[in-house]
Structure 1
Amino acid sequence: MIKILMIDDDIEVLDINKKFFEEKNCHVEVAELAIKGLQLAKTFNPDCILLDVMMPDLDGFSLCKEIRKITDAPVLFLSGKVSEDDKIEGFEAGGDDYIEKPYSLRELYARIQVSIRRHTKTNQYKKENMIIDINPFYIDIENHKLLYGEEEIALSNKEYDLILFLSQNIGKEITFEEIGLKLWGSYIESDRRNVMVNMSRLRKKIESQTGIDNLIETVWAKGYKLVKLK
């Protein structure tokens, strides 16, 4: 049984969605306030979290950052704020998907299932492959960390997912589309900026902490490639 946590200040939306998902044999908990949603994220241990952006006590982006300190369960933003900047802010806050209101409940349920399957596969991979060696860097998959020797380079969830994906394809040219599909599950051409923003942040963190600026090469007009350093 899928456990879904919904956080939205619109009680009518919560009631409608809760009824729909319970008919799909899901276990559903709801919260009209961010503080209650945060408490449920701790105690309910959801498989997926549906999160509104415009909340009265704490906006969804800020709440997602707090949730990410508790759980790595998929977070799907549901919002009428659908500018490119809004979506980027949602992904940078730790969201896994960003869905425009109004939405189809059938499509939303399908996206929930996809996000949970992706999350499950990622966790299974972590169990089977605990360390990736890209000397002098190491990816500690069990603890979700990028290390330079024994020194951790602090990354956001998407930055970590990005370096992990590249390290799994070391020496291979990875396109913007492949990265977008891997990190967010979908891709349109305007998503290229999302990929570039996350890559820029990742590179800056690596360079500022280690002085190494050539770990990830740009493949002109195509994407990126992680190289083995000599």
Structure 2
Amino acid sequence: MSVKKLQVLMVDDDWKLRNLLRIYLSKEGFDTVEAADGHEAMLKIKNQSFDLVILDVMMPNMDGWQVCQSIRKTQSVPILMLTALGETKEKVQGLELGADDYLTKPFDPEELIARVHALIRRASSNSTQQTNNDVLHFPALMIDRDGRQVFVHDQSLDLTPKEFDLFATLAKNKGRVLSREQLIEQIWGYDFEGDARVVDIHVKNIREKLKRSGLAYNPIQTSWGVGYKFEAEVGKS
């Protein structure tokens, strides 16, 4: 019986780059689907499920950030963003919108393949980690780790997959300070090569969403010079 190949969507307006990606990925046993712009990508995502999306930032009409944001409204598929910009603020923007990793053009084919395998491996690990019903209750806050949902005052809170993983990890370790390095290892994996500030970015986003939801306290406390801890005490800020 043949094993179903993993599906990768490649989104880039440069057909030469798409062709190179197809060659690299095909050699690794992946099935590839191409999209020349953001609108075409969203149509394919609507009609087909993918195991990974490789997404260029700079595209006409609908850029990679807009595509990433649209995908995150409905799906948790891993997203690897390609950027020729090389600017930290551009990479930060992608991470804030829900991207899982980024790679700067021009890139080494071996690094691309390594990151693709790492993202798929992490996604597979995250999907099988929770086998028991695991619901965490705090004042006005509930975290359903099994269903990957957060509720504030019984209203669902919209978190990206990585935001949820970070929030749930801190909550599970309530009262314990976790360093940025520990959080990166648990959520992004040992082979993550990005900036450790990715943790700070996600914490900032989670805090803002919790505040907008009406939660009366800030459960993610900063331990200066070390990392973060979860404290569910009303009145904390």
- CA, structure 1 residues 19+200, in 2 after alignment: closer, same or farther (shift >3 Å)? closer
Cα deviation code 1:141-196 (max 9, x no counterpart): 344321135232333333322211212322221102222344444256x533x322
Q: Say if 1:3 and 1:46, in contact at 8 Å, map to a contact too.
A: yes
Does 1:210 find its partner at 2:215? yes
Percent identity of equivalent pairs: 28
State how many pairs are aligned.
Answer: 226
Q: Which amino acid aligns with 1:226?
A: F
Q: 1:160 aligns with which of 155, 160, 164?
A: 164
Structure 1 stretch displaced more, 218-227 or 142-151: 142-151
5+ unaligned residues in a row in structure 1: which ranges?
none
- Given that 2:53 and 2:79 are in contact with CA atoms closer than 8 Å, whether structure 1 keeps it comes out as yes
Q: CA deviation at 1:19?
A: 1.6
In structure 2, do the counterparts of structure 1 residues 130 and 102 end up closer, same or farther at CA, with 3 Å as the change threshold? farther
TM-score (structure 2 length as normaliser):
0.86
1:62-141 matches, cutoff 5 A: 62-126=66-130, 128-136=131-139, 137-141=141-145
How do residues 1-230 of structure 1 correspond to structure 2 at under 5 angstroms?
1-126=5-130, 128-136=131-139, 137-185=141-189, 186=192, 190-192=195-197, 194-208=198-212, 209-213=214-218, 215-229=219-233
Question: For residues 175-222 of structure 1, what are the alpha-carbon distances to aligned partners after superposition, in whole Å with 9 as ceiling and x for unaligned?
Answer: 02222344444256x533x32232123223324412113x22221211
The secondary structure found in structure 1 opposite 2:166 is helix
Q: How many Å apart are 1:42 and its aligned residue?
A: 2.3
Q: Is the 8 A contact 1:41 1:70 kept in 2?
A: no
Letter in 2 for 1:84: T
> By percentage of residues, which structure has more helix?
1
Determine the C-alpha separation between the residues in 2 that align with 1:223 and 1:157.
Answer: 20
Q: Letter of the aligned partner of 2:196 in structure 1?
A: D
Runs of 4+ in 1 over 6 A off after TM superposition: none
Aligned residue for 2:169, secondary structure, equals: helix
Q: State the superposition RMSD in angstroms.
A: 2.0
- In 1, Cα distance between the equivalents of 2:91 and 2:132? 31
Q: Give the Å deviation of 1:48.
A: 0.6
Distance 1:181 1:101, change over 3 A: farther
SS of alignment partner, residue 210 of structure 1: coil
